[in-house]
Amino acid sequence: MILKFKIFEKEFISMRNKELDFLKKHLNETLKEFSEKEEISISVQIISYISGILAEYYRSIPRYLIDINEKDAFRLYKARGDVSLILVGFFSDWLNRKNRPLKEEDYINAGKFNYWKAYYYLDKRYGDIIKAEKEKDYFHMLNNSFLFIDLFKDISENFEIYTDLLKRYRLESENLSKFFDSFNPARVLIFEKLFKNK
């Protein structure tokens, strides 16, 4: 019985990982296309990071920052920043409802602060090592991408830009969904084919 459960558990984890990979890839492509269409200059590394956290939390996102249970300081800062980014980007109506003690601005401040703390934590622990490595020849052969540490600094500094991208993306998705809902299913398939061929 235990062996069967282990096999089932392995298969379940494998299926979930494939589902998350597919979702992340889809979100990455659509956010990239959307940011280009909206002429919002966002690096591919930031889009990839945001797609990853959206895929990670797509089934269940903590509603409050105090619901995040992480023991490691870096993971706590990162998770709080991630949740703030998603809540402000996708659920600002929920955040701004009446009689709520915390508003969107509080989550913006929390997101910026926690991403900055994640950056600071990593920079203090690994910054000197990475900066020394940047001077070596092999490092120049790598593509000009964010260092993982700098990614958190960038998100902290540009938090509102990234949440605005998510708000606009959500709004367009809702409008497109409402547009498709106004037609019968056969017409929806025709419209989807037209959009895919463009």
Taking the domains of the chain in order of start, what are their residue ranges?
2-197
Q: What percent of the chain has pLDDT over 70?
A: 65
pLDDT at 198 over 50: no
d(CA 92, CA 19): 27
Nearest to 107 by CA among 131, 82, 129, 132: 82
Q: What is the DSSP letter of 69?
A: -
- Res 183: pLDDT: 54
Find the range with the poorest average confidence among 4-8, 26-30, 77-81, 165-169: 4-8
pLDDT tens string 135-171? 665 555 445 445 778 889 999 999 999 999 999 988 8
Write down the mean pLDDT value for the chain.
77
The residue among 62 and 44 whose pLDDT is bigger is 44
State the average pLDDT over residues 85-111.
Answer: 88
Amino acid at 105: E
State the average pLDDT over residues 75-88.
Answer: 91
Give the pLDDT band of residue 66 (cuts 50, 70, 90). Answer: low
d(CA 42, CA 36): 8
- Res 70: pLDDT: 76
